[in-house]
């Protein structure tokens, strides 16, 4: 035990270095324990070791030797079904391992869903250029001139297919507050009874640039007026169309906005996931056409070929413009990859914890089973002397050993499923009830328990009955 007390703090001191080598891209945090933490770990280890020693000592006071010699005592409790302390410890360990493994599986499944998710628009061949055009120093006329000049220069670059603007660029973060959402009402509806939706003012070529399909109707055209009053036309997302007209064609229908008045729906677009990669759908969105004199927001550039030459050409062509107002162009896919890499760091940490849970469960079950088998050595000798086969001995030990494991699974899985709704709310792709994860965790813990019990059970089944009877 003294060796354990001295080794555990040393291991705790070295583990952060191991994590740093395994995840070189992870953010650096000072996690090495100091003397205070090491003293705390040593104290906790000593207390845990003391309690671990008290449990078998207290249990030995109640040992019934006569029942044990007659074979009435099982490896994990008495024949009357009474649970021992070691049974409850295995139950608790398996239950906690089940909870941690279900969380691990849910997070891994969420990572897979994030990687395979379709945001609803093109990401690989679109550049996002942050623009910082503010008043002051820009006036409305000078800002309009800046946007138009930038757009014309970018359109002239080789490989550029289309250029668009948007108030809210994809993956630019969810900075939307309740104040930026507006109520949409059907004609005749009373104020306050409508539906809150996200508004996005876009340029004519926005949907073409991002390849967002217009499912019904048409997109904006140059002849459509902008967001200056009155605004006669709008496009809506598919989810908003299902909310307002679940059984009717929305094309040609009218909706009302408090600021823009009555709008005619001319098109229905595909739902997108543009707030952050891997997040849930943007929900109901209403698209307005930007006024020619409005501030255009971030620039979106669709190109063909490799992104490197386009980015260098962009830097050259915009050299004479305001460098402080034009950010570094990046492909939407590079932003996606950065988000995924950040989440992958969490996945690695969770996988390490899941692996540790399996390891601790195997070690704990192995120790308990080996101890129980050693307590039943004479019983095994008596049974074999009376005609029991090795398969009978092996089956008896495995069945009695699996009882607390099954109880732990029955206790841990409901706890894990109770926590699943919380993960489902914060992780895209996480399901409240994932049969695949639950089945995999059950099979993994069962296999780990059987593997831990197999060695001591096989040794007991192969033992010589005469030596077992003479065992002290």
| CA dist list (Å): 70 to 66, 76, 79, 109, 377 | 6, 16, 11, 51, 12
DSSP state for residue 27 in the 8-state scheme: P
What's the CA gap between 15 and 41, in Å, rounded?
Answer: 14
What's the CA gap between 319 and 443, in Å, rounded?
Answer: 61
Whether residue 337 has pLDDT greater than 90: no
Strand partners, 16: none
Q: DSSP string of 250-298?
A: -TT-EEEETTTEEEEEEEEE-----SSTT-----SEEEEEPPTTS---S
Q: Which residue has the higher pLDDT, 192 or 289?
A: 289
Pairing of strands 285-289, 195-202: parallel
Tell me: the pLDDT tens digits for 93-129?
888 888 888 888 888 887 777 777 778 888 889 999 8
Whether residue 76 has pLDDT greater than 50: no
pLDDT of residue 117: 73
Tell me: the pLDDT tens digits for 126-153?
999 888 776 566 666 777 778 888 888 9
pLDDT of residue 1: 47
Domain ranges of the chain: 1-59, 63-118+338-469, 131-327
What's the CA gap between 300 and 128, in Å, rounded?
Answer: 5
Instruction: Name the 3-class secondary structure at 83.
Output: strand
Q: Which residue has the higher pLDDT, 421 or 330?
A: 330
> Which of 10-19, 29-38, 223-232, 332-341 comes out lowest in average pLDDT?
223-232
Neighbours of 104 (CB within 10 A): 22
Helix (H) or strand (E) holding 109: helix 85-116
For residue 194 the two structure tokens come to 């409508």
pLDDT of residue 393: 77
Q: Are 163 and 318 in contact (CB under 8 A)?
A: no
What's the CA gap between 170 and 177, in Å, rounded?
Answer: 17
């Amino acid at each position: 035990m003294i060796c354990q007390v001295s080794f555990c703090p040393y291991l705790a001191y070295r583990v952060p270095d191991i994590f740093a080598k395994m995840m070189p891209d992870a953010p650096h945090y000072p996690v090495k324990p100091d003397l205070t933490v090491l003293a705390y770990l040593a104290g906790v280890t000593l207390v845990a070791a003391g309690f671990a020693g008290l449990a078998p000592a207290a249990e030995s006071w109640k040992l019934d030797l006569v029942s044990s010699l007659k074979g009435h005592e099982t490896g994990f409790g008495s024949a009357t079904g009474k649970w021992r302390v070691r049974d409850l410890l295995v139950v608790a360990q398996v239950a906690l391992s089940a909870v941690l493994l279900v969380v691990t599986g849910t997070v891994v499944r969420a990572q897979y869903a994030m990687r395979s998710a379709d945001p609803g628009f093109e990401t690989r061949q679109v550049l996002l250029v942050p623009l910082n055009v503010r008043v002051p120093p820009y006036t409305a006329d000078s800002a309009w001139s800046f946007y138009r000049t930038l757009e014309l220069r970018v359109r002239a670059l080789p490989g550029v297919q289309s250029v668009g603007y948007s108030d809210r660029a994809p993956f630019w973060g969810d900075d939307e507050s309740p104040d930026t959402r507006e109520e949409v009402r059907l004609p005749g509806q009373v104020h306050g009874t409508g539906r809150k939706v996200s508004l996005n003012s876009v340029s004519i070529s926005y949907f073409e640039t991002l390849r967002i399909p217009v499912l019904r109707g048409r997109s904006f055209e140059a002849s459509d007026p902008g967001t200056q009053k009155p605004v006669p036309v709008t496009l809506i997302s598919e989810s908003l169309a299902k909310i307002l007209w679940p059984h009717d064609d929305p094309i040609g229908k009218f909706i009302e906005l408090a600021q823009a008045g009555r709008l005619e729906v001319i098109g229905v677009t595909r739902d997108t996931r543009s707030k952050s990669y891997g997040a849930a759908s943007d929900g109901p969105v209403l698209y307005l056409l930007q006024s020619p004199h409005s501030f255009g927001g971030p620039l979106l550039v669709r190109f063909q070929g490799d992104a490197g030459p386009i980015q260098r050409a962009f830097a050259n062509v915009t050299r004479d413009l305001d460098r402080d107002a034009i950010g570094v162009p990046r492909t939407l896919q590079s932003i996606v990859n950065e988000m995924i890499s950040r989440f992958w760091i969490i996945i690695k940490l969770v996988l390490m914890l899941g692996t540790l849970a399996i390891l601790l469960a195997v070690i704990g079950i192995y120790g308990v089973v080996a101890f129980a088998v050693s307590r039943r050595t004479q019983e095994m000798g008596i049974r074999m002397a009376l005609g029991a086969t090795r398969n009978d001995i092996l089956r008896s030990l495995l069945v009695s050993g699996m009882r607390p494991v099954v109880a732990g699974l029955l206790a841990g899985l409901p706890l894990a499923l109770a926590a699943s709704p919380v993960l489902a709310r914060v992780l895209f792709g996480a399901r409240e009830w994932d049969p695949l994860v639950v089945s995999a965790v059950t099979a993994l813990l069962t296999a780990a328990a059987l593997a831990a019990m197999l060695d001591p059970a096989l040794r007991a089944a192969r033992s010589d009955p005469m030596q077992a009877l003479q065992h002290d």
